[in-house]
């Protein structure tokens, strides 16, 4: 049984890499099987086709992201909310820079295969909604503690999220050192406004 799980995980890992590098259309089942070290017919034991492999890869990307965001957004009782927002901003942007999974997600969100477009958009919408909810809770706690001015949690969370996504989408334009400078400039400016 363990060998079957390892083979399935290997298929997902190899497919993530190939889809990220080559795109959906250019990635073929034969190449996935070859890179896994199995025959094409054996691959069909695990997945009925490329579309199902893609969905499994996409779901693993989302689950990894959800775990990352859940852990990142935990509020510590005695810590500053503004420092928490700064940490989230920095870690989220760096996660986008270093993660092949986020590169995969960005590629297919903006250039989805037509037959998977609705699936990708629906899953992304659900997942983004969960992150927004966590951000609203953080801003609500900051207002409650008197650390953040204002009372429109929706507005505060949305503007933060848009600033965060804007920088996260441009991570490949910067080397590591310059990205750190840009992260600090963006979040410091945002925190001065609230």
Structure tokens at 102: 């986020």
Confidence of residue 76 (pLDDT cuts 50, 70, 90): confident
CA dist., res. 14 & res. 32, Å (int): 6
Structure tokens at 65: 């992201």
CA dist., res. 185 & res. 180, Å (int): 9
Q: For 153-194, what is each residue's pLDDT tens digit?
A: 999 999 999 999 999 988 888 999 999 999 999 999 999 988
pLDDT at position 3 is 63
Determine which helix (DSSP H) or strand (DSSP E) holds 154, and give its type and residue range.
helix 153-169
The domain spans of the chain are 59-193
Which pTM value belongs to this model? 0.88
CATH of 59-193, one of 3.30.1490.20, 2.40.160.40, 3.90.420.10, 1.10.357.10: 1.10.357.10
């Amino acid at each position: 049984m363990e060998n079957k799980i390892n083979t399935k995980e290997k298929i997902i890992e190899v497919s993530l890499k190939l889809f990220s590098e080559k795109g959906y259309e250019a990635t073929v089942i034969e190449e996935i099987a070859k890179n896994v070290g199995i025959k094409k017919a054996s691959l069909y034991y695990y997945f009925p086709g490329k579309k199902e492999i893609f969905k499994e890869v996409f779901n693993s990307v989302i689950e990894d992201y959800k775990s990352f965001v859940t852990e990142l957004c935990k509020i510590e009782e005695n810590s500053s909310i503004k420092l928490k927002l700064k940490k989230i901003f920095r870690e989220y942007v760096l996660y986008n820079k270093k993660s092949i999974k986020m590169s995969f997600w960005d590629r297919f969100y903006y250039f989805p295969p037509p037959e998977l477009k609705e699936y990708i958009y629906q899953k992304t919408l659900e997942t983004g909604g969960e992150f927004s909810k966590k951000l609203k809770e953080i801003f609500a706690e900051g207002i409650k503690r008197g650390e953040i001015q204002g009372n429109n949690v929706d507005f505060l969370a949305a503007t933060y999220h848009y600033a965060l996504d804007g920088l996260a989408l441009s991570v490949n334009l910067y080397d590591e050192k310059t990205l750190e400078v840009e992260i600090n400039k963006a979040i410091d400016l945002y925190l001065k406004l609230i």
